[in-house]
Structure 1
């Protein structure tokens, strides 16, 4: 067998492979010999089927299998011998001439084909000990805990029916039924029965709740509102609808005492324990936000320290995925690129840059993990899947079975676990200082958030 490299263009490689007909015949004979002991053909004892008869019956199929096996082995050898890391599966191009291909299958001609590869570039990793980062942290203030406790109390506030002729006020809870129409025609999703609605909650379309202030139980009102331009249902965005609303009941909110009894209703032994639980949850939220900002800083530094041309195919695949999401989101919001202050070409250029960054960072993190033997164990993956399954009470087994049967889904669990382990490894080497900031600064949106890997 002769393997010759014919192209080396950037990260693209192409090889020409020639396999003599004699080599193919040797492989074919070996497969026929094994087949002779396996097949059962009427008129012949097991293992006694003449080879010539097998060739007549199965020759073409066996040759196709032999060629397929040989191509796999050859591709693997090319990768191993050259020390390549592949960015994509090898692309094999067989002879297009039917006569030539027929000669190969019949064992009368040499097999000549090309295999195209796209490889991952060699990545020279930076010295992570030279990276300096700042971890932003914020303390959970007592007044924030009190506010959160009060919000929880408001959410659990009891409601009692108002007097039969009492008018609804902001804060009251109504039970309503309605039919919505646009240009006199009822539309899908615009009709509902016995829906609870607290006036002033902002749950419904802007203006809807305001027009029900003063309504009484048993009253029917026409509420006219305009759907926001960014409404999730594109067919309704920006349109004006008239809702015929019937108020079934009006209930007034009661008072909630923030005391031990209230805490016990929520399953905690005292108000102090409730506030402690709320504080711990808020601390976890703050810590997660601090970690996210620190990780974003780190990715920015890795991006700046590792500049190379990533495999074009990987970048194109990532761009397509990102672009589909962008276009889908705009369509769902009934918005255009002009509404975003740009045009399609500029947006594509921006998101190609994001795709390039994501691919490069992904390759850098993978290289760090490989060179430092960072692994994610099956046990760690299983624990993560269990946590996901717990998010669907009553359907845990269904979720578990889905992951067990879907390798791609398991990979989607493993990948972020691996990334976090690599990030932790780098953070151990980097110099990380800590700065206490107000909550607002900790949770301030970063313009580069969408660019993070």
Structure 2
């Protein structure tokens, strides 16, 4: 199953789009009508702001919080509590009004606040001890997102399971040194985080552009015929992947399709066939372009990209990755990546239409 998912994931790194003028390329299976000057919508890079950097660092601080259970006193503002609760209106439970094991910081304003007539949800937990079960009454605000709840009064039966004192570490040079192998000071850490976020933003732009240009490329590629053996192999791979998903959910394949995919077996077969044919078309078109434009990866490029794919797929070594995924699959993915990078380098980015925006 892992092999099929990785193979599919690698394949999805590429896609297609076309416009411009260049010579046709053709073989027994496909004709590429255009591969240079393909028009694709311009992809804007997200600007990394100081606020985004601060928010990311705060998320690291939050993830490094320490939590100490409190057993010798009642809940106070600032504590984090573990609660079960059931909400009712006029004695009838309502959707979204119940939960178990909910973690809530008292005073955070996460739950229903106070009104002129009723105290807020969180402040009414203050003063209660672990193990207590009690009922509170609150009033939904007039601007509550669910209009039919606006200004309504509700009762909540609450069981206070546990009280915790949560401490968030301060952003100091000492803390940075426990979190980063590169940075020693807060300023260095902020710079490190910014550089990583900018790299991720650029990777996102590259991925979107490559997907668009691959889609355009395929649109400009005509199919003469497809090797049925390859199509059947792709279809079988897709079918096996979803059958294993059904097994993981502990249900029959037909039940999985109807219950989780909202489709019939016939619809699945039609879509799987279409996906299989597109995958073979992409493979043939990329191989043809790579052959004619000398884009085949060198041994060094292949090994470097295979190692990258292995790391992305959480494999400890590249040889195990190749063995489990299949070297043919890896080689095809590397070649398609080379092709899509060539297409992206030679495409024309245009302003997106209003609908695309």
Is the shorter-chain TM-score for this pair beyond 0.5, marking a shared fold?
yes
Please, which of 321, 325, 344 is the counterpart of residue 265 of structure 2?
344
Please, which of 310, 328, 331 is the counterpart of residue 414 of structure 1?
331
Match for residue 138 of structure 2?
A: none
Change in Cα spacing, 1:294 to 1:171, as seen in structure 2 (3 Å) is farther
State the Cα deviation string for residues 16-44 of structure 1 (Å, max 9, x = none): xxxxxxxxxxxxxxxxxxxxxxxxxxxxx
State the Cα deviation string for residues 40-90 of structure 1 (Å, max 9, x = none): xxxxxxxxxxxxxxxxxxxxxxxxxxxxxxxxxxxxxxxxxxxxxxxxxxx
- Give distance in 1, aligned partners of 2:243 and 2:76: 43
| Alignment TM-score, normalising by the size of structure 2 | 0.59
Match for residue 232 of structure 2?
A: 316
Match for residue 213 of structure 2?
A: 298
Match for residue 21 of structure 2?
A: none
Instruction: Confirm or deny: 8 A CA contact 2:36 2:346 kept in the other structure.
Output: yes
- Give distance in 2, aligned partners of 1:215 and 1:121: 78
Q: Which has the higher contact order (CA 8 A, sep 6+)?
A: 2
Q: CA deviation at 1:161?
A: 4.5
**SS of corresponding position for 1:420:** helix
Match for residue 275 of structure 2?
A: 354
- Give distance in 1, aligned partners of 2:41 and 2:287: 24
Match for residue 209 of structure 1?
A: 101
Aligned Cα root-mean-square deviation (Å)? 3.9
State the Cα deviation string for residues 384-443 of structure 1 (Å, max 9, x = none): 4555676899x95xx355368x497444433322211111222232223477xxxxx99x
Match for residue 340 of structure 2?
A: 423
Please, which of 147, 167, 176 is the counterpart of residue 55 of structure 2?
147
Matches within 5 A, 1:2-41: none
- Give distance in 2, aligned partners of 1:302 and 1:410: 25
How many residue pairs match? The answer is 256
Please, which of 157, 169, 179 is the counterpart of residue 256 of structure 1?
169
Please, which of 373, 376, 382 is the counterpart of residue 303 of structure 2?
382
Match for residue 281 of structure 1?
A: 196
Change in Cα spacing, 1:306 to 1:171, as seen in structure 2 (3 Å) is farther
1:136 paired to 2:43: yes
Change in Cα spacing, 1:325 to 1:128, as seen in structure 2 (3 Å) is same
Instruction: Confirm or deny: 8 A CA contact 2:81 2:163 kept in the other structure.
Output: yes
Change in Cα spacing, 1:389 to 1:168, as seen in structure 2 (3 Å) is farther
- Give distance in 2, aligned partners of 1:251 and 1:284: 38
Instruction: Confirm or deny: 8 A CA contact 2:176 2:186 kept in the other structure.
Output: yes
Deviates more, 1:328-337 or 1:143-152: 328-337
Instruction: Confirm or deny: 8 A CA contact 1:173 1:253 kept in the other structure.
Output: no
Q: CA deviation at 1:352?
A: 0.9
Instruction: Confirm or deny: 8 A CA contact 1:315 1:355 kept in the other structure.
Output: yes
Change in Cα spacing, 1:314 to 1:139, as seen in structure 2 (3 Å) is same
State the Cα deviation string for residues 179-204 of structure 1 (Å, max 9, x = none): xxxxxxxxxxxxxxxxxxxxxxxxxx
Gaps of 5+ in 2: 1-26, 83-97, 105-124, 134-160
Instruction: Confirm or deny: 8 A CA contact 1:134 1:434 kept in the other structure.
Output: yes
- Give distance in 2, aligned partners of 1:392 and 1:290: 21
Change in Cα spacing, 1:434 to 1:283, as seen in structure 2 (3 Å) is farther
Q: CA deviation at 1:271?
A: 2.1
Gaps of 5+ in 1: 1-119, 175-205, 222-246, 436-440, 443-453
Matches within 5 A, 1:34-183: 121-137=28-44, 138-164=46-72, 172=80
Change in Cα spacing, 1:134 to 1:211, as seen in structure 2 (3 Å) is closer
